[in-house]
């Protein structure tokens, strides 16, 4: 299963760089998104190092199936709009 990173979790004047909002394919309502809470997500970094940043789904976000993912480190801005894998 895959998803697309949409944005950082943010407020009006703050931005949390290790929490991202992810839209998951084939998930379009709250009930399907609640089933993903606790799953592991992997982001493959671009570059020579080929490292991976792992995170876990902590909560749903909104009513259309988006989820909030807590990553182990801060995410780069270039990760917005890229694909993540659910492990």
Q: For position 43, what pLDDT does the model report?
A: 96
Please identify which residue in the block is written with the tokens 């606790």. 38
Q: For position 53, what pLDDT does the model report?
A: 95
Report the 10 Å Cβ neighbour count for 68: 20
> Could you tell me the residue ranges of all domains in the chain?
2-86
Q: For position 50, what pLDDT does the model report?
A: 87
Please identify which residue in the block is written with the tokens 């259309």. 64
Please identify which residue in the block is written with the tokens 């949409």. 6
Per-10-residue mean pLDDT, the chain, length 87: 95 95 94 95 91 96 95 94 94
Q: For position 6, what pLDDT does the model report?
A: 97
Backbone angles phi, psi at 26, to 5 degrees: 65, 15
Structure-token pair, residue 56:
């876990």
Alpha-carbon distance 1 to 51, whole Å? 20
Tell me which CATH homologous superfamily contains domain 2-86: translation elongation factor selb, chain A, domain 4 (2.40.10.190)
- Stated pTM of the model: 0.91
């Amino acid at each position: 299963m895959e998803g697309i990173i949409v944005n950082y979790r943010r407020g009006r004047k703050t931005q949390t760089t290790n929490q991202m909002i992810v839209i998951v394919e084939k998930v379009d309502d709250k009930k399907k998104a609640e089933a993903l809470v606790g799953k592991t997500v992997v982001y493959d970094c671009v570059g020579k190092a080929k490292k991976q940043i792992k995170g876990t789904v902590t909560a749903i976000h909104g009513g259309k199936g988006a989820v909030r993912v807590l990553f182990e480190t801060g995410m780069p801005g270039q990760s917005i709009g890229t694909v993540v894998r659910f492990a």
